[in-house]
Structure 1
Amino acid sequence: MLPDLLVPLGLLIVVAKLLEGLLGRLGLSSIVAYALTGILLGPVFGVVEPTSELQIFLGLGIFVLFFVIGFDEIDVRGFVSIIRGRYFAAALISVAISTAVSLSVTSDIFGLSFSLGLPTTDALALAGVLSLSSLGLVAKVLSDSGQLRERIGLKIFAVVLIAEIMALLVVGFTVGEHAEASDAAAIVRLIAQIVGFVLIAWLLSARVLPAAISLLQRIFDVPQLSFGLLLGGLFLVVVGAERMGLHGSIGALLFGAALSGLPEQVRNDIMPGFRSASEGLFVPLFFASAGLYLDLSFLDQPLTTIVALVVIPLAGKFAGAFIGTFLVRIDVPLTMATGLMAKGVAEVAFLLVMLEQGVIGADVFSLLVLVMLGYMLVMPPLITAAVERARTSKVRVAPHSMPPSFARYALADVRVGSLLDATRELPGPNVTVEELLAEWTVPGHTDYVVASDGEVEGVVSLSRLRRVRRGSRPTTPLRAVMRPCPMAARPDEPISDVLERMAKYAISVTPVVDGPDGDFCGTVATHDVIDLLLLMDEIKPQSD
């Protein structure tokens, strides 16, 4: 009966949003409010039960939620641009140690009596969930405390970005139908299917869909056309993922990540309807469902198992984060490790997926969801306190490039014109390689725009110049080794869009042109953006 479905839906949504407003005044996460809604209406008062009809809406909520996580938190281009050097090494060590330690509890690989003894793939999936870090939570905490624009904020953001994507790769490969793959040929075939799906989904999402949306919006005057196309496309991608051996939630995550690089203007055009539906309906229902499934059955587990599930992954996560940042000599490893302890919505979402698949029982699910909610309550003030107490080295060391997603969080509404460098002299095409290396290089800059008489000639990179033989450098002009500049920026563009394109073309500097004729008026470099972001107070009022 329709009323039998609408009554619990209405109660869950109304109570969830009211509790969100109430607990928000106390500084508590909306996710806590939604989960508490499910607990109150389910186990406590018995008003709502997770019926099969209700599960349809809750299942949709899973896919919408993972799409939003991919869209807001997964910055693949930023990941690629900083997967070198110390920050990548720190994140890799952190995730590897954390996952290995968590495996001691989720599997019997180490032969410990308190372990859950899950099959290898299931145990690895759960260990990956316990090793996740939340970029969204870290960004919000740093932003609220005013630390997102500090050097320590950029460092934490960069390491958490890499660590989150690494852990998601572990979970994504181990959650799905592949657990049934028992021989090498089946595993290879599955991997090929997953790679094929990822490539096709990425091509459609990043190349075809944005252009198609823009074209259809110009042709048809249909309200919320883009919202309908995105929502329908999401469900089709979910089905495709399921048929390729991935869980549908991973397909939704990849779909969101593929669209996360959309220009800011396009994002602003297509996302309001989607966010309204997700934040007003699907996400509250999803996390309320987590509360509906909570019970005290975990108390039937041996005390050693309960303590191990709570303490060992926590200790392993912190130890891995601290060891990783300490070994690679990143400043304030204790603060960096604290930042990596952030937990957000993805963990609870994956736990519900694993409960739905029968990987874990209600007892383990209930205990770990309560642990994750505890993380959400405790970690924000701890991260804030750790960052405020941090004393960083006077030596200015930052990631080689700025993740584009960092710009979306920290440089909202900042335009290229605010960061334009119109005073720097640029080498001409007749400058030799030796002259540029000796006289024109600037610390931290790896690419240089070549210009002549106010016209952009091309761009050269230090790595390419250093491959020129030493004996030829005094006589080799830049025009012989430069390449065409793949892009140019406009002063009125959002800086986040420009950084997205710079990451796409793997360059760290771009010319800025203005006017109908594209008159050259200066440059913007990634390193300049970082310096301005971290050291100049002048840009702060623009994004407050």
Structure 2
Amino acid sequence: MTDIQIFFAVGIALTAALFLGELVGRAGEPVILGEILAGVALGAYALEIVDPEGSFALLAAIGSMLLLFDAGYEEIDVQQLERGGLPVLIIALFGVGLPAVGGLATGLIFGYPMITSLILAITLGVTSIGVTARTLLDLDQLDTEYGLHVVGAAVTAEILGLVVFSLLMATQQTGASTGQIVRILGLVVAFFVGAFLVQWLLIDRISRLLAGSRQTGADMIGIMGLLFLFGYAAAAVGLDVIVGGLVAGLIVSSERRFRETEIREGIVGIAYGVFIPLFFVNVGAQMDPTVLLQFDQLVIAVVAVGVVVKVGGSYLGARLAGHPHEEALIVGVGMLPRAGVELVVATTALAAGLIDERLFSAVLALVLVSVLATPLLLKRAIRRTAA
């Protein structure tokens, strides 16, 4: 994609996202659904205006970082998140473990080898935090207890899924050693240790340096620099850039002056006006709607297991963590969407010859159903709590 074409793609994508978002919003549904549908129409399987693998994907990645940065900075209370550690682990255990077991069993039942079935287990276990976080933000529910538990459990699922997939790929390489496995785990640990050290030792100093700057927008420049560095660090250790965005937001929100200067005011316009809609357009652009027309038993089984067991397992985990029925249902639906990590895992595995086109189509069908259904179901589940 040339530079001129990316300008055209972004212009059309933003216009389509605005138009369809407005239509969907006026119909009483979450605006995010319109942005995703715009991506489906403009993407690789329809009009081909948006290339989800090209330069557009970079802009979308920036949107994902800004979305989770905003969530971490504005909505998530770190102390409350820490207090929710045990409930988050319980929800993650059931919301990741049961779907993973279901994916493994589905793969084996359909005659796939263990390695392929394990990859299906990973894709069914992970959760796309971006879709749920945006929907909860739009509904002003991200700062609730159940909202924080969903975010914590989804991020845990994403980290576990990526780490396990990296280990799985390492074992498939010729000469893979224990040292490689230790290296993968060590890099992930190093990322979070580094984040802790930045929060503990550096963020106050950074704030003081920026406070003394005479440059216009110094705070914003410094914080955005920190955001991109954390996005890079997360990707470098095998995680998703979206994790780096969340961690950066949590670190910035922990510093008193940054909290009081309302950094969000400088972010909202450019983030929600440009990059975040592009992120969800890109999510839609990766989806092939025709997979839903394939009445393949494998496709039906993967979608059914991926939806029912994911929602049911997360619901059960939330109930065991102490949530009442209505809130547990929100948690269950909130853990449903798959997009980012699942697509990375499936695409990489397909390229490596570890899964076939049939199974890849089944995974795409699950992505399409879960991403489109989550905003609709989540809004209705939240309404039940207010009734």
- What is the CA distance between 1:21 and its match in structure 2? 2.8
Q: Deviation string for 1:362-382 (max 9, x for gaps)?
A: 652354133222121122113
- What is the CA distance between 1:118 and its match in structure 2? 5.6
Partner residue, 2:57: 55
Considering only aligned residues, what root-mean-square deviation do their CA atoms show, in Å?
3.8
Partner residue, 1:336: 327
- What is the CA distance between 1:77 and its match in structure 2? 2.7
Partner residue, 1:199: 193
1:23 aligned onto 2:24:
yes
Larger-gyration structure (1/2): 1
Identical pairs, percent:
21
2:212 aligned counterpart, secondary structure: helix
Q: Deviation string for 1:404-432 (max 9, x for gaps)?
A: xxxxxxxxxxxxxxxxxxxxxxxxxxxxx
Name structure 2 gaps, 5 residues minimum: none
Which structure has more relative contact order (CA 8 Å, sep 6+)? It is 2
Contact 2:35 2:277 in 1 (8 A): yes
Contact 1:298 1:363 in 2 (8 A): yes
Contact 1:103 1:109 in 2 (8 A): no
Residues paired across the two proteins, number: 372
Whole-Å Cα distance in 2 between the matches of residues 31 and 128 of structure 1? 23
* 1:101 aligned to which of 98, 101, 125: 98
Whole-Å Cα distance in 2 between the matches of residues 120 and 185 of structure 1? 25
Contact 1:137 1:342 in 2 (8 A): no
Q: Deviation string for 1:516-538 (max 9, x for gaps)?
A: xxxxxxxxxxxxxxxxxxxxxxx
2:329 aligned counterpart, secondary structure: helix
Whole-Å Cα distance in 1 between the matches of residues 85 and 232 of structure 2? 31
> For residues 233-382 of structure 1, what are the structure 2 equivalents within 5 Å?
233-263=226-256, 266=259, 268-299=261-292, 303-324=296-317, 326=319, 330=322, 332=324, 334-343=325-334, 347-354=338-345, 357-358=348-349, 361=360, 364-382=363-381
Contact 1:190 1:244 in 2 (8 A): yes
Contact 1:177 1:245 in 2 (8 A): no
Contact 2:50 2:282 in 1 (8 A): no
- What is the CA distance between 1:97 and its match in structure 2? 2.9
1:24 aligned counterpart, secondary structure: helix
> For residues 426-465 of structure 1, what are the structure 2 equivalents within 5 Å?
none
> Higher helix fraction: Structure 1 or Structure 2?
2
Partner residue, 2:179: 185
Whole-Å Cα distance in 2 between the matches of residues 243 and 96 of structure 1? 26
Question: Residues 179 and 255 from structure 1, CA distance in 2 versus in 1: closer, same or farther, beyond 3 angstroms?
Answer: farther
Contact 1:71 1:260 in 2 (8 A): yes
TM-score, normalization: structure 2? 0.78
Q: Deviation string for 1:87-106 (max 9, x for gaps)?
A: x2xx5444323323312443
Partner residue, 1:504: none
2:18 aligned partner, one-letter code: K
- What is the CA distance between 1:210 and its match in structure 2? 4.8
> For residues 380-419 of structure 1, what are the structure 2 equivalents within 5 Å?
380-385=379-384, 387-388=385-386
- What is the CA distance between 1:29 and its match in structure 2? 1.9
Partner residue, 1:36: 37
2:263 aligned counterpart, secondary structure: helix
1:340 aligned counterpart, secondary structure: helix
Q: Deviation string for 1:370-402 (max 9, x for gaps)?
A: 3222121122113322x246xxxxxxxxxxxxx
Q: Deviation string for 1:333-372 (max 9, x for gaps)?
A: x223212123389743334544664568465235413322
> Higher strand fraction: Structure 1 or Structure 2?
1
Contact 1:73 1:136 in 2 (8 A): no
- What is the CA distance between 1:176 and its match in structure 2? 5.3
Partner residue, 1:12: 13
Whole-Å Cα distance in 1 between the matches of residues 178 and 59 of structure 2? 37
